[in-house]
Amino acid sequence: MLAGQSLHPTTLLVEIMMPIAQSRILYVEDDVQLLEARSSLLRQEGYDVVTAETLTKALRLYRSFDFDQLLIGHSVTPKIRTVLAAISKRINPRAGVLVLVQGAEKPQLADGWTNQQDTASILEAVSFLLATTKPRRASTAAA
């Protein structure tokens, strides 16, 4: 944008949200029905979503691809969540870790968590955490 130009608020929102919506997320969930439903909703919002139902598959994918966020579903046990978060921070400390929890649980090593299970709250949490981290594609484009 050139100096002196004004930017319409809607245009500004679109420009801010575009790198976030193009972000790559690894979504790990033991419950296959939730995994399919939520990953589909995330894709509809423009996210590049890769899914894993097991710890082994999640670790293999996380080591093989560059992700902006690790989203861990509430059906994954707290022990597995902690292992995933710890390994993800070693592999890619820039990526955010968001955990969906039940009740008042506060997961270890997570950058964010929500106990809200509705779609709007999950999308808001994903977007918020991505906005506070450096998206993979945005940092690549700026380099």
Q: Which two tokens stand for residue 100?
A: 């969906």
Domains of the chain by residue range: 23-136
Entry pTM: 0.78
pLDDT tens-digit series, residues 47-106: 999 999 999 999 999 999 999 999 999 999 999 999 999 999 999 988 999 999 887 778
CATH number for the segment(s) 23-136: 3.40.50.2300
